[in-house]
Structure 1
Amino acid sequence: MARDTVLTISISYVLVATGMIYAQHLTSCLPDPPLDLLYPGVLVFAVGLAGNFYHHCLLSQLRTTKQGGGGGGGGEKAYKIPTGGLFGLVTCPHYLFEIIGFFGFAMIAQTVHALAVAAGTAAYLAGRSCATRRWYESKFEDFPENIKALVPYVL
């Protein structure tokens, strides 16, 4: 991943985390919610984190580079259709699990701010998933039609 992309993503995560911590601080003097979602939220968050990590590992094993001539070490990227995990059902299962993780975090925090962040993240990643699916269709003539963008059998 390019350094500027890593920096942008890292800064956005730090800003989101800071905002959530501040929102949590603002609600500390309010009464607790009638339904405690801490433990189910931790479970949902852990499932999201594990699924995201697993599918990112599959993606990292997929990336190879064709060696260019001249021995300069530079090369051209060779793209493949990902396989394994939920890649047979959706183009971006890592996004699906990231969304699950954010909603798990929203369950833990139980604030409107955390829910808004989860919903915004879901909307953004749904759009990215659809764009990724269109990209796969344009690059691979044999891309399976039954593979959805984000949610198996639905979207």
Structure 2
Amino acid sequence: MPLGTAVGGAANYLVATATMVYAQRLSRSVQDPPVDLRGPGVVVFAVGLAGNFYHHCLLSRLRADGGGSKGYKIPRGGLFGLVACPNYLFEIVGLFGVAMIAQTVYALAYATGAAAYLAGRSCATRRWYQSKFDEFPARIKALVPYVL
């Protein structure tokens, strides 16, 4: 990943976290929601974090298994047999877990916006795989197994 992309992504999460904390602070005087989603939100966040980490580990092994080769390969393992970008899927799951924990409109809006962005990126990634690899399976969706 280019350094500029990594810095931009990190800056995005830093600003989102800071503004989410600020929105949470502003909502302290607001009455609590009738349903407490913090507990389930922690579980959803943990599943998203673990799934994202696992699929990034699988991606990092692609280059290591190739003997230092810089060539591209179709990822295997985990949910890669069903979707092109399971790491994005689990990132979205984690963000909605954060939204459940925060229970603010801002957190939900951020998770929804990030989901839309990552859905677009995953569709572009799937198209790239199809153009690069003749053997890329047509049954593999972009983001959501059997759906998108």
Which TM-score bucket, shorter chain as reference?
over 0.9
The alignment's C-alpha RMSD in Å is 1.3
Alignment of 1:70-109 (within 5 A): 77-109=70-102
* Unmatched tracts of structure 2, length 5 or more: none
Query: Runs in 1 of length 4+ with deviation above 6 angstroms?
Result: none
Partner of 1:87, secondary structure, is helix
TM-score w.r.t. structure 2 length? 0.96
**Does residue 106 of structure 2 align to residue 113 of structure 1?**
yes
Alignment of 1:1-155 (within 5 A): 1-63=1-63, 77-155=70-148
What is the aligned length?
Answer: 147
Larger radius of gyration: 1
Q: How far is the alpha carbon of 1:2 from its aligned partner?
A: 2.3
Question: Residues of 2 paired with 1:131 and 1:63: CA distance?
Answer: 21
Question: In the alignment, is the contact (CA less than 8 A) between 1:56 and 1:94 conserved in 2?
Answer: yes
Bigger proportion of residues as strand:
1
Bigger proportion of residues as helix:
2
Q: How far is the alpha carbon of 1:66 from its aligned partner?
A: 7.3
TM-score w.r.t. structure 1 length? 0.91
Q: How far is the alpha carbon of 1:63 from its aligned partner?
A: 2.2
